[in-house]
């Protein structure tokens, strides 16, 4: 772009952002892209309406805008064009706030706008701060739980004004047939209806032909602050307009006080923690604020927003695991109910990308992932009805991978599909064996609820048989040179060369390079993270050493690739949720320097700064049409903090706490939702566990430092004293 065009671009976006048909086509195309350097998203949800707030650091248009979706329709969010407020030729720039000062319209400018999550009056809120002349503008957007209502609060601060100034604010609805009723701006979009209104008594008027609500004139004085609240109310699907107007009027009459109070109570009921470790605090909060916005109350989720528009049992299961560890039990239950009623067929086959694949291409990890999350749900909530109500289906699911058609004399499962969904030669996949072992062990623990007490012993035996073959079979073990390997062909050779598999674009490694390796592979971390393999063993350590080859493979700013970059059919680049696999394994192995490096990267990488992580960070093309938001990563973060860092987990039916704070950490206080009450956990320091107080009763730790909580514990306070460690690993010798 030459200097003249760049000047005109800036000039264009310093004026009204919503002049119909006036947006240059190349800017519309840039706004449609999921990934652009510096672009990040915040995800919030109110009722059935999902709002994805787009925050840009490059000046490609208004820097703070949003898209609206029906979260119960995963196909809608496969791309931005599906958003209710996307207008051809304009994109969604109508959602940007405009501040008119001295007759000149200002909007947020990318390189001068800061955005972040804040907890405002107990409610997770997206904040943007930018400048309109000498006025500092602060926007805060929050979702009022369960109401299809979004609150947009605006502060105007005369920080650098010399004297009093008059301003007007402009809020728009998508270009089209808007109309006004009772001071409310309305837009019928066919499948949704939008209403925009001001709370309070400030002067306002509606310009129907320009689709805008104008607030003002307002007087702003030097160093003074003026605050106002607006609401966007949605109706999905559409119903009589009178219902929408009645809701708006009720919110106006009360200044949304009851809706805000209910939202505060909702968030206070979820799990939280307080720690002086700013990285852990930030990343946990960002994940718990954003994840509920990515899943519907009925359990629907798009496994890759802006990319897939489909559902997998594995993605849904692992995402639900994070929801449980964040204390979102109700949505977790509905999600599991949806999986069990709509995503498993009568033969026990689990859904892949919205459908069911052939036996040779099934994902044998899905049974284990679903049984694991069902057990976790039962453990944390005490609710076993899902398991009891779906016994026949779950038994079919458990038994399916044990069929002789999928196994051989080793007891291990084999087929042509690997964990990352490529089709290879028939072989044994490490991740499949790992999750099958975990799933069978969890199934044995749940056998009484399944009415399968007589099968529990067989499931344990089969799990141990698979584990023995996986680790020590004389010719088929998934171990080589003292470390785990991702795959071995059924003929016995290690599967480490990828052939006859084409890349998706002309510039990717599979199409530009002649030789392609399969491992190391991030899925090799799973048996360590799940403790199927002893995390402190030499095998685990050597495996994690092998996976270090995935860090900074063809880039220099951190993160692990999902597998050897030479075999990428997509863009090379680090994968956040694959990095989470390795993070969890590193922490279990006691490699705190490495896990800290991984965590710091996840907290600061593009997407991580908002808690809406991209599936990958592209390294060839800076603009990518297929780089979606994957909620699985948010779930992995929540799981890491609660299960691995705080060390709260279950062994069979027993609650066990074994903290593994980073060396040098101070007291941590966690308030975790647990069954019908709370688990309030205090961990005083990061050293070895010395003693514990459980509801006032002293409990001595086991030899390895685990605190076994009494079986009758349903709620209360656990205080753990440690042998204090003053040594910090935050400045470890390994690069961060």
Residue 523: the pLDDT is 98
- Residue 290 clears pLDDT 80, i.e. is over it: yes
At 712, which CATH number?
2.60.420
The tens digit of pLDDT for each residue in 672-688 reads 999 999 999 999 999 99
Q: Are residues 612 and 661 in the same domain?
A: no
- Residue 21 clears pLDDT 70, i.e. is over it: no
Q: Are residues 566 and 581 in the same domain?
A: yes
Q: Are residues 408 and 515 in the same domain?
A: yes
Q: Where is the domain boundary, 599, 630, 645? A: 645
pLDDT band at 598 (very low <50, low <70, confident <90, very high): very high
pLDDT band at 14 (very low <50, low <70, confident <90, very high): very low
Residue 498: the pLDDT is 87
Within-domain flag for 670: yes
Within-domain flag for 626: yes
Average pLDDT over residues 395-406: 96
Q: Where is the domain boundary, 234, 268, 302? A: 268
pLDDT band at 621 (very low <50, low <70, confident <90, very high): confident
Within-domain flag for 728: no
pLDDT band at 9 (very low <50, low <70, confident <90, very high): very low
- Cβ 327 vs Cβ 100: under 8 Å: no
Q: Are residues 202 and 298 in the same domain?
A: no
Residue range(s) defining the domain that contains residue 693: 648-722
Place of tokens 């808007």: 178
Q: Which of 33-42, 304-313, 458-467, 720-729 has the lowest mean pLDDT?
A: 720-729
Q: How high is the mean pLDDT of the chain?
A: 93
Q: Are residues 191 and 333 in the same domain?
A: no
Q: Are residues 44 and 145 in the same domain?
A: yes
Q: Are residues 316 and 414 in the same domain?
A: yes
Within-domain flag for 732: no
* Number of structural domains the chain divides into: 3
- Give me the phi and psi of 257, to 5 degrees please: -60, -45
pLDDT band at 620 (very low <50, low <70, confident <90, very high): confident
At 221, which CATH number?
2.60.40.1170
Average pLDDT over residues 250-275: 96
- Residue 576 clears pLDDT 50, i.e. is over it: yes
- Cβ 485 vs Cβ 479: under 8 Å: yes
- Residue 565 clears pLDDT 80, i.e. is over it: yes
The tens digit of pLDDT for each residue in 720-730 reads 999 875 444 44
1-13 exposure pattern, b = at least 16 Cβ within 10 A, e = fewer = eeeeeeeebeebb
User: Global pTM?
Assistant: 0.94
Q: Are residues 571 and 668 in the same domain?
A: no
Q: Are residues 465 and 564 in the same domain?
A: yes
Average pLDDT over residues 555-580: 95
Within-domain flag for 617: yes
Q: Where is the domain boundary, 616, 645, 674? A: 645
Average pLDDT over residues 239-243: 95
Across 111-183, where does the E strand assignment appear? 114-120, 123-132, 135-144, 149-157, 165-172, 178-181
At 638, which CATH number?
1.50.10.10
Q: Are residues 542 and 396 in the same domain?
A: yes
Q: Are residues 617 and 659 in the same domain?
A: no
Q: Are residues 437 and 550 in the same domain?
A: yes
Within-domain flag for 727: no
Residue 474: the pLDDT is 97
Residue 732: the pLDDT is 37
Strand order in the sheet with 272-274: 272-274, 668-674, 677-684, 716-722, 689-694, 697-699
- Rg from Cα positions in the chain: 27
Within-domain flag for 736: no
Report how far residue 135's alpha carbon sits from residue 354's, in angstroms, rounded to the nearest whole number: 49
Residue 733: the pLDDT is 33
Within-domain flag for 734: no
- Cβ 178 vs Cβ 185: under 8 Å: yes
Residue 728: the pLDDT is 45
Helix (H, G, I), strand (E, B), or coil: what is residue 581? helix
Non-local (6+) Cβ contacts of 569 within 8 A are 422, 501, 502, 503, 504, 508, 510
């Amino acid at each position: 772009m030459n200097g003249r065009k760049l000047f005109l671009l800036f000039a264009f976006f310093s004026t009204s952002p919503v002049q119909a048909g006036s947006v240059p086509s190349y800017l519309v195309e840039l706004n449609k892209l999921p990934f652009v350097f510096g672009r990040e998203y915040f995800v919030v949800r109110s009722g059935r309406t999902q709002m994805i707030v787009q925050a840009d650091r490059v000046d490609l248009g208004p820097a703070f805008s949003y898209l609206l979706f029906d979260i119960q329709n995963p196909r809608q969010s496969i791309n931005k064009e599906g958003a209710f407020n996307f207008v051809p030729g304009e994109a969604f720039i109508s959602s940007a706030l405009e501040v008119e000062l001295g007759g000149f319209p200002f909007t947020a400018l990318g390189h001068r706008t800061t955005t972040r999550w804040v907890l405002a009056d107990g409610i997770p809120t997206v904040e943007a701060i930018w400048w309109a002349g000498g006025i500092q503008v602060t926007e805060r957007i929050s979702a009022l739980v369960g109401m299809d209502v979004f609150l947009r609060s605006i502060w105007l601060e005369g920080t650098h004004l010399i004297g009093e100034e008059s301003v007007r604010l402009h809020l728009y609805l998508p270009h089209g047939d808007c109309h006004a009723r009772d001071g409310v701006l309305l837009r019928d979009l066919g499948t949704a209806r939008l209403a925009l209104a001001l709370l309070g008594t400030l002067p306002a008027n509606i310009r129907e032909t320009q689709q805008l609500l104008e607030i003002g004139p307002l007087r702003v004085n030097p160093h003074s602050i003026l605050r106002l609240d607006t609401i966007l109310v949605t109706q999905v699907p559409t119903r009589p307009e009178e219902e929408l107007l009645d809701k708006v009027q009720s919110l106006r009459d009360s200044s949304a006080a009851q809706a805000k109070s209910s939202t505060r109570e909702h968030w206070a009921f979820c799990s939280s923690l307080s720690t002086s470790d700013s990285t852990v605090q930030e990343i946990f909060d960002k994940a718990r604020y954003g994840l509920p916005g990515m899943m519907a109350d009925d359990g629907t989720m798009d496994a890759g927003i802006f990319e897939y528009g489909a559902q997998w049992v594995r993605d849904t299961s692992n995402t639900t695991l994070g929801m449980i560890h964040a204390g979102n039990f109700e949505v977790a239950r509905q999600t599991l109910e949806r999986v069990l009623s709509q995503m498993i067929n009568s033969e026990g086959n689990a859904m892949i990308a919205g459908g069911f694949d052939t036996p040779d291409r099934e994902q044998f990890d899905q049974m284990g992932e679903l049984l694991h999350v069902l057990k976790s749900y039962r453990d944390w909530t005490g609710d076993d009805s899902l398991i009891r109500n779906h016994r026949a289906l779950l038994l079919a699911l458990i038994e399916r991978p044990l069929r002789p058609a999928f196994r051989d004399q080793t007891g291990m499962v084999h087929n042509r599909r690997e964990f990352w969904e490529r089709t290879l030669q028939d072989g044994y996949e490490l991740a499949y064996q790992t999750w099958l072992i975990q799933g069978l062990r969890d199934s044995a623990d749940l056998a009484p609820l399944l009415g399968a007490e007589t099968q529990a012993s067989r499931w344990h035996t089969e799990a141990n048989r698979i584990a023995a073959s996986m680790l020590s079979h004389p010719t088929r073990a998934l171990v080589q040179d003292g470390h785990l390997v991702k795959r071995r062909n059924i003929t016995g050779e290690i599967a480490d060369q990828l052939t006859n598999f084409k890349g998706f674009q002309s510039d990717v490694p599979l199409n530009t390079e002649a030789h392609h390796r399969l491992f190391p592979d991030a899925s090799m971390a799973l048996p360590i993270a799940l403790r199927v393999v002893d995390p402190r063993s030499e095998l685990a350590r050597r495996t994690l050493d092998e996976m270090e080859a995935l860090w900074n493979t063809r880039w220099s700013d951190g993160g692990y690739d999902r597998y050897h970059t030479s075999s990428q059919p997509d863009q090379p680049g680090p994968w956040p949720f694959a990095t989470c696999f390795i993070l969890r394994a590193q922490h279990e192995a006691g490699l705190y320097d490495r896990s800290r490096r991984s965590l710091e990267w996840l907290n600061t990488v593009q997407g991580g700064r908002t808690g809406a992580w991209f599936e990958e960070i592209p390294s060839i093309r800076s603009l990518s049409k297929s780089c979606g938001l994957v909620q699985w990563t948010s779930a992995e973060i929540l799981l890491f903090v609660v299960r691995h860092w705080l060390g709260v987990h279950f062994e069979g039916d027993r609650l066990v706490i074994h903290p593994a704070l980073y060396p040098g950490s101070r007291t941590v206080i966690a308030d975790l939702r647990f069954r019908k009450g709370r688990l309030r956990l205090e961990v005083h320091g990061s050293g070895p566990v010395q003693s514990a107080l459980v509801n006032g009763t002293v409990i001595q730790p086991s030899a390895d430092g685990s605190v076994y909580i009494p079986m009758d514990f349903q709620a209360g306070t656990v205080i753990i004293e440690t042998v204090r460690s003053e040594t910090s690993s935050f400045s470890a010798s390994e690069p961060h």
